[in-house]
Amino acid sequence: MSDHSNCIFCGIVRGDIPAVRVYEDEHTAAFMDVQPASPGHTLVIPKAHAANLFEISAADLVATTLTTQRMARLVQKALAPDGIRIMQTNGAAAGQTVFHYHVHIIPMQDGQRLGAHGRERADPEVLKALAAKIQNALRP
């Protein structure tokens, strides 16, 4: 396992770094991406640190995948995009910028071009409103 003392996602898990959380269970957390590629861009992470797909334990991979599926369904229900891009990268050459395993859930509309991830910070109030819509989709 890699050193994770300065990992931003570990800081979010610990509560040291603020995040607009959407969902959390014993093994995973989901929160709004602060530099989204599209409105509703949500991240899912294991709470246990693993830098990438090659380091994550099988149990944490399964838990993260199940949470990703659950969150994608909620994003679909809440935001009604035409499609959802699920993305996971490994290594800087592949575009990974935070070295803690994570999955991107990116809602897409027909004809929409994927925005450049990481270039523009989202308005925190917009993130909170989107998170609330997704959380409300949890209710029957």
Range of the domain at 47: 8-136
Q: Is residue 69 part of a domain?
A: yes
| 31, two tokens | 């929160």
Task: Decide: 107 and 80 in contact? Cβ < 8 Å.
Answer: no
37 DSSP 8-state letter: S
Q: Is residue 2 part of a domain?
A: no
Q: Is residue 44 part of a domain?
A: yes
pLDDT at residue 13 tops 60:
yes
Q: 118 burial class (0-12, 13-18, 19+ CB within 10 angstroms)?
A: middle
CATH of the domain at 128: 3.30.428.10
Q: How many domains does the chain contain in total?
A: 1
* Residues acting as catalytic residues: 102
Q: Is residue 1 part of a domain?
A: no
Interval 112-133: pLDDT, tens: 776 656 677 888 899 999 999 9
Strands 42-46 and 103-108, sheet pairing: antiparallel
Task: Decide: 127 and 41 in contact? Cβ < 8 Å.
Answer: no
Interval 94-117: pLDDT, tens: 989 999 999 999 999 998 776 656
